[in-house]
Amino acid sequence: MPPSRPSTSDPAVIETSRDHPFSWRFATPLFIGSALNPINSSLVATALVPIADGLGVSIGQTAALVTALYLASAIAQPTAGKAAEVLGPRRVFLTGIGLVIVGGLVGGFAQDLLTLLISRVLLGLGTSCAYPTAMLLIRRRARDAGLEKPPGAVLGGLQIAGIATASLGLPLGGVLVGALGWRAVFFINVPVALVALVATLCWVSSDDPLDRTLSARGIAAGLDVIGIAGFAAAMIALLLFLFGLPTAHWYLLTISVALWIALVRWELRARTPFLDFRLLAGNRALTSTYLRFGLVLLCVYVVLYGVTQWVQTVRGLSETEAGLLLLPMTLVSGLVISPVSRRNLVRGPVIAAGLACLIGSAGVLLLGTAAWIGWVVVVTLVFGIAMGTAAAGNQTALYLQAPAEQLGTASGLLRTFGYLGSIAASALTGVVFHTQVSDHGMHLVAWIMVGISVVLVVMTVADRTLRTRISQAPNH
């Protein structure tokens, strides 16, 4: 089924002229929707202890609420992209907003941990629909406006909403829990999602009507339901193995490897594969973009997880104070993303991201019990530069490298690689800090990050595909 095109009679299309194809009305719901996932990923962190007290469960059990959203999001991002390619991006975006509203209500009224887990899965599924569908909607609007280059300003805004907001969840969650109680971190999704829902209905053009001649079997084949299910099963086994570290459940890794092998064999025969492994093997530039993004976020999230634990345990800061220390990283990444995205830059920013990771990782080596606490802010500022340049550069690269008809799935996979990086960071800090959070452990993590950063810099500088100028990129 060809990608859905906007209805020319749609009021939103009439309102948007060729002179102003990316008005604030079009962009607002996309930005709001894309911000919900990263904020929710950390929003619940400050509510875990109150939830445990309120429901009469252990704090260890509430950690599953964090895992649930990560699992759901890592699987749902490319799945939502594939669904948007087949069914239409606006439909999938609205469906995701609906799931966020339901998830927020279910969590807000929950009386037990199982219901909260269901809520977090719904929130993960719903919020994951925003980014890949937004990329398709932006591509569609750019094509209809006759633009040859990616719309840098709106892509930058999308990255600020979808990446730079990640650390906002900690201080926001602390304020909500302190003022309104732990249920507020779930209920807050409802009014925000309603705003995005109304704005989308009013200002984002409708998809073409679905082909009524297609049967349910035809739609399932177009979606490659078997491929999606295989990907979900393989990812769940892999992520459960990573989340279980430092205790290594090797049977989970074995199951994951077997499922990945079976998935590759299926997708190579599928007519419309969910994961086009031939494309990934043949499009080295796109595959490198995924790897670069995952490695940068691994380093960034080591700082978010590891340094946060260190300043709380070793330096005695509260959760709120630790969260505030990370705010400058969010601000800097947002400031960096905007000018880089506006210029549609790729090679310079991704090299800068690798170098920033290397410099920041070396800076972590200077952290210690007697070190100036302001040094933490300096280190996080460097990683804010890394996050901003990596987000902007790699997203522009993805926009140019991915085939137009597969942009939804490709965009979702970019986020999945980001989640793999963040989950690997969580596993790394979990292994190193398994028995004790200490200066020595922090320095060991820093040396590992230095090694990862060196690999990142070398692979980025040596990547010849990045030397092609944006103006020479194929017009999708």
> Could you write out the DSSP letters of every residue in 125-145?
HHHHTHHHHHHHHHHHHHHHT
**Is residue 96 included in any domain, yes or no?**
yes
Which of residues 237, 254, 269 is at a domain's end?
269
State pTM to two decimals: 0.82
Same domain membership, residue 171 and residue 94 = yes
Question: 236 and 309: one domain?
Answer: no
Are residue 44 and residue 145 in the same domain, yes or no?
yes
Compare 40 and 19 and report the one with higher pLDDT. 40
Q: How far apart are CA 141 and CA 5, in angstroms?
A: 10
**Domain presence at residue 218:** no
Rounded CA-CA distance 452/299 in Å is: 8
Segments of 257-335 assigned E as strands: none
pLDDT at 1 over 50: no
Tell me: do 306 and 427 sit in the same domain: yes
List pLDDT tens digits, range 405-421: 888 898 999 988 988 88
Range of the domain at 44: 10-207
Q: How confident is the model at residue 471, as a pLDDT?
A: 43
Question: Are 50 and 190 contained in the same domain?
Answer: yes
User: Over the stretch 229-257, which tens digit does the pLDDT of each residue have?
Assistant: 999 999 899 988 887 877 889 999 999 99
Domain-embedded: residue 369: yes
Structure tokens that stand for 28 in this block: 């607002």
Q: Are residues 254 and 291 in the same domain?
A: no
321 and 466, same domain (yes or no) = yes
pLDDT at 108: 96
Residues 185 and 47 in one domain: yes
Average pLDDT, integer, range 43-49: 81
Report if residue 3 sits inside a domain. Answer: no
328 shares its domain with 244: no
In a domain, 216, yes or no: no
Displacement of CA 231 from its chain's centroid (Å): 17
Q: Is residue 296 predicted with pLDDT exceeding 80?
A: yes
CATH of the domain at 442: 1.20.1250.20
pLDDT at 8 over 50: no
Measured CA to CA, the distance from residue 56 to residue 48 in angstroms comes to 12
pLDDT for res 167: 66
Residues 305 and 191 in one domain: no
134 lies in some domain:
yes
Q: Are residues 335 and 257 in the same domain?
A: no
Q: Is residue 191 reached through a cis peptide bond, with omega within 30 degrees of 0 on the bond before it?
A: no
Closest to 448 measured CA to CA, from 462, 434, 427: 427
Banded model confidence at residue 89, pLDDT cuts 50, 70, 90 = very high
Is the domain of 255 the same as that of 293? no
Q: ω before 50 within 30° of 0 (cis)?
A: no
The residue among 476 and 362 whose pLDDT is bigger is 362
pLDDT at 91 over 70: yes
Q: Per the structure, how many domains does the chain have?
A: 3
What pLDDT, on the 0 to 100 scale, is given for residue 374? 85
Of 249-258, 265-274, 308-317, 341-350, highest mean pLDDT: 249-258
User: Does residue 311 sit within a domain?
Assistant: yes
Q: Cα separation of 271 and 204, whole Å?
A: 31
